[in-house]
Chains A and B, each alone.
Chain A
Amino acid sequence: MDGIALMMDELLSDAKTNNIIAVKVKISCIQLQGDYVIYDHLSGDTHLLDEMSGGLLCSLNTQTMSRDDLLKKLVKSFADLSWLEINNYLDVFIDRFVALDLLNITKQSA
């Protein structure tokens, strides 16, 4: 049973890796000292983000990326964090900004 569960995890992980992540609405990003302030043109909401989330969202504002590309980018930028920490962070980041209607995920078939 454990082996099957592991295989399922890997399959799901692969599926997530191929997802294409894009900014859903027009946003403006400004970096102020270490923080990012983001303006959502559609809702008019202003968001204050830390360096990691803000940097990631601003990158996605200029180009769409796969989840795998995002992960690689983060691993390169934050060498002091483990792969697992960054992977978990990325899940939280994506869920948060999908809930805020700022990000769009397009599922890619493997």
Chain B
Amino acid sequence: MLAIKFLIPEIFLSISIFSLLMIGVFIKNSFEIIYRLSLFVIILIILIILSGDSESIKIFSESFTIDRFSLYSKILILISTFFVLLMSKKYIVDIKNNKFEYPIIILLSILGMFIMVSSNDLILFYMGLELQSLALYILASIDRDNIKSSEAGVKYFVLSALSSGLLLYGCSLIYGFTGSTNFEEIANSKDFNVGTIFGMVFILVGLAFKVSAVPFHMWTPDVYQGSPTSVTSFFSVVPKAAGIAIFIKFMYLPFRDVLNQWQYILVFMSIASMILGAVAAIGQTNIKRLMAYSSIGHIGYAIAGIAAGTENGFKSTLIYISIYIVMNIGAFACILLMKRDGKYVEEIEELSGVSKNHPMMSFGLLIILFSLAGIPPLAGFFAKFYIFMAVIESEMYTLAIIGLVTTVLSAFYYIRIIKIMYFDEPKKPFEKFVDYKIHGPIVLSCVLLVSFFIYPSILNEIVSNISIF
């Protein structure tokens, strides 16, 4: 009975999902109410988590962990979901997708992520993963009359189900060879033989697919482009945070003693993702597709931190992913502003000369893009800086050098957008509207990115208290 109190965020989330569902069923055209209530629920859960104590404890026969790491990830997930949901409202209503299920499915997917980041057991981990990915399949195809959205949904479903299958196969191998599904016991079983390593590789494949690291990234551009922009902004932010969190947990908890086995795999994934993210994005004309490649590149940097294999390594990854979330929320809020003649446009060319008509928006996008490119003194620079510090500490100079080179390469396409915005011929202005729900996140994101260098240790201090072991 005492254990229940540690589960309050999850229980509260589930109960509110059920109640929202009931409200949605019985009240007609209830998108507005459900939307507000779900924002309110998210804020309440943030408060519940912050007000609870952060001692680390394992419940349900040690299959569910509550510690600073999982709480940090949960708050990251909640805050990013809050902003994504906040800014996507106008878009959802504009494309007439205001079904009341939309916020509920998003809440269900965060429930899955909660379970995933807290899991200390292969079975529980898999259930959380399935809950969140099932919600994501539905979200990808939620604009069902749009053929691209349906295509994105089907593509994501088929590929992701395949990767889940591989992951499950890996789990079964690990259970067979170590005799337990519990992370701690897997780590403690001393004989890691080739079978366990094989299982670990399969799990790595599944995880890499979920965070879209090369060579399992093929779905990302198509799904990002095909899904409605509001869903794309969710995809590029929230599942990435949860995926990276569980990635860290897997590498540092059950497989911590076989660092020499997974380190090279992660280094390869990281290098490949950074290079692909930098090179393949150059030729893109669609801004959502470009953001997809950019997110592949950023995941490469995040994995570089994990690959360092040290405590500083995963902490730098946590910092990286937090700053990445801030940047991506801002960037997608700007993309959601690109509306002309009642239609949302997605081509980069449409941004041409936008600084003449929309100086504030283009200035915000400028800051965010500079930060994505990693130009000092913006927060994106510090994120990359910590990663490279951790990587160099563990003497992986090749990884660091390739990372630096790809940073320069990827700066090209970010700055190309800035050039298009500021120096090209102005086109017809976008629709002018002031919506604090969209402009608020942009302003907040820019302020955070610009002011991060004043006191960068604030995030460090939060993260430095986190430990997984």
Please say whether chains A and B are actual partners in one complex: no
